[in-house]
Amino acid sequence: MKKRLVLGLTLLLLFGFAQSQEPPKPKAPDQKAKTSQRGSEQSPIFVKTPRPSTQAERDYEAYEKHEKPENERWTTRATVALAGITLGLAIFTALLWNATRKLVTDAKDTAQRQLRAYVFYRPDLPIHIPNMNELHTTGVKFRIHNSGQTPAYDLRHVTLIGLRERSLSIVLHPVDFPEDGSRVALNPGMHSEQVMKTDLPYPQADIDRFRAGTHAVYIWGEARFRDTFGAPQWVRYAFQITGEGDASGNIQWCRYGNEAS
């Protein structure tokens, strides 16, 4: 009886152990391995046989390797040279335009200088003053002359006379020019006369200074006009009457005070 029971337990244990030892299931194939086995160019399974190149392709490859870089270098050099030539041409054109403009401007200025009116003052003859006491009666006669080729329009002038200390570097005070004075037109080659007089005869003390040569009678003034081109012009003048030993004298140009536009 005991032998049967032991035999049964032994069979039961063997059956349970056999049931627990199941055969292993096959592993799922790796996805990457499947992918790598499809015959791609990277897989060593697949070998790509190169197609034989033609003569045209070999020529193009040689051109790409040797001739094309050299051609590109020459193209770059030619572009730079063309840019330099264009810049030089632009600079030359600008200089030529500036020279032409200056030539036209100079020609215009020259024509205006040649054709404009030129007004100047000069004492009328005789230039010798017989006596200072005659300055308030006979006075000194001046001529306003237009030596230009066109008229002087709206001509106005102011002239002053007075006894001043004699000096070569004397600078006479500016003329207070009235804007509401009379205006005349002076044609080319014509002149207008003006007589300058003192309001009163000079006193004996002034005559003595004149005779001593320390003082002189000065006549100065300014004229303004408009030339035929509409440009304003002006002329300033200054004379002196000097004498030593007597009351007579000669009219002379002053060193300063004679200028014009």
CA angle 174, 179, 180 (to 5 degrees): 135
Model confidence band, residue 36 (pLDDT cutoffs 50, 70, 90): very low
Tens digits of residue pLDDT in 112-168:
888 899 998 887 766 667 778 778 887 888 889 999 999 999 998 888 888 888 876
CA dist., res. 20 & res. 12, Å (int): 13
Task: Give 134's DSSP letter.
Answer: G
CA dist., res. 135 & res. 199, Å (int): 9
pLDDT surpassing 80 at residue 43: no
pTM of the model: 0.59
CA dist., res. 172 & res. 100, Å (int): 44
Q: Omega of the bond prior to 203 within 30 degrees of 0, cis?
A: no
Q: Where are the domains of the chain?
A: 67-115, 119-260
The three-state secondary structure class of 244 is coil
Res 118: pLDDT:
94
CA dist., res. 139 & res. 241, Å (int): 12
Average pLDDT, stretch 172-176?
A: 72
71 compared with 260, residue with greater pLDDT: 260
| First and final C-alpha spacing in the chain | 162
CA dist., res. 16 & res. 7, Å (int): 14
- Average pLDDT of the residues of the chain: 78
38 compared with 171, residue with greater pLDDT: 171
CA dist., res. 179 & res. 222, Å (int): 13
CA dist., res. 190 & res. 207, Å (int): 36
CA angle 157, 233, 216 (to 5 degrees): 45
